[in-house]
Amino acid sequence: MIASGVVATTDVVEACTGVNIAVMVGGFPRKEGMERKDVMSKNVAIYKSQASALEKHAAANCKVLVVANPANTNALILKEFAPSIPEKNISCLTRLDHNRALGQISERLNVPVSDVKNVIIWGNHSSTQYPDVNHATVKTPAGEKPVRVLVANDEWLNGEFITTVQQRGAAIIKARKLSSALSAASSACDHIRDWVLGTPEGTWVSMGVYSDGSYNVPAGLIYSFPVTCCNGQWTIVQGLPIDELSRKKLDLTAEELSEEKALAYSCLS
């Protein structure tokens, strides 16, 4: 029988010993008057030490999900300093953005969110992310129909829809003076569940994973892609047509991630 219980600890060795799944929620938030480099150097230090602890003490098959921002780059630093953890086992959270995109479409069409699928969040978990509905569908009595056809408003889909998803975190902070912590927690559970137990047939989700050059995204970045999961492994969905507008947006968020990577590495030297 598996023993159940909670161990609350401030001891990094006790926390990391033998873990199979590590969800990294600690990071240094940007405060007023801080430059990006200040935030980055603090997070680089945090993720360097967390990575070293996981490297020494975690289970060999440990899966890591980084939630704390800048999530993609924090995950990249962690990968750098935990070389024995396979790159396929290090990911960052863009499921919150993915779920927000599904929510916006379900609200717009007045359908259950469970009937909408296959939106994509491309790139960085930041305001340059690209929420893409070009391949998304909705379950209707007459079968699955493309979101673009049902919404029938490209101006909204290419404009307000994208900015709403991109800026949602900031809008929530503005409205309640607190971040959307519970939404992030719920999305982290979704991310881990699908990664471990698999995605439903015909459905993909968004995960920040190590780029292999798919869709001409520079290799070596942690970038959000559409993925399917099976037997505890994710696979990037291949062969989706990318139109001109999407190409520009994929490249823009990749550029930001390349800049963040360079900034992070400059903090290391």
Residue 176 annotated as binding site: no
User: Which distant-in-sequence residues (6+ apart) come within 8 Å of 246 by Cβ?
Assistant: 122, 130, 132, 134
Is there a binding annotation on residue 74? no
Measured between its terminal Cα atoms, the distance across the chain in Å is: 48
Percent of the chain whose pLDDT exceeds 70: 99
DSSP 12-48: HHHHHTT-SEEEE-------TT--HHHHHHHHHHHHH
pLDDT at 166: 94
Rounded to an integer, the average pLDDT of 208-233 is 98
Question: What average pLDDT does the structure give for the chain?
Answer: 94
Q: Evaluate if residue 14 carries a pLDDT over 90.
A: yes
Is 191 known to be catalytic? no
Would you state the torsion angle of the CA atoms of residues 234, 236, 237, 242, taken in this order, to the nearest 10 degrees?
160
**Selected catalytic residue, list 57, 98, 125, 191:** 125
Greater pLDDT, 7 or 36 = 7
pLDDT band at 230 (very low <50, low <70, confident <90, very high): very high
Average pLDDT (80-98) is 97
Name the strands in the sheet holding 63-66, side by side, starting at the edge strand that comes first in the sequence.
21-24, 63-66, 90-92, 205-210, 222-230, 233-236
- Is 30 one of the annotated binding-site residues? yes
Is 69 known as a binding-site position? yes
Q: What is the pLDDT of residue 259?
A: 96
* pLDDT value for 1: 64
CA distance 154 to 216: 25
Is a pLDDT exceeding 70 seen at residue 183?
yes
pLDDT value, residue 168: 84
Alpha helices in the chain, H assignment, sequence order: 12-16, 36-57, 71-81, 95-109, 147-151, 154-158, 160-166, 168-176, 181-197, 244-268
pLDDT at 174 over 70: yes
pLDDT at 2: 65
- For the segment 120-130, the average pLDDT, to the nearest whole number, is 96
The answer to whether 108 is a known ligand-binding residue is no
pLDDT at 52 over 90: yes
Q: Which residues of 152-167 are buried (b: 16+ CB within 10 A; e: fewer)?
A: eeeeebeeebbebbbe
- pLDDT of 130 > 90? The answer is yes
Spatial CA neighbour of 145 closest among 136, 132, 134, 154:
136
Across the range 116-120, mean pLDDT stands at: 98
Q: Give all domains of the chain, ordered by start, each with its CATH number.
A: 12-91 (3.40.50.720), 94-263 (3.90.110.10)
Burial of 77 (0-12, 13-18, 19+ CB in 10 A): buried
Q: Are the beta carbons of 209 and 236 closer than 8 angstroms? A: yes
**How confident is the model at residue 176, as a pLDDT?**
85
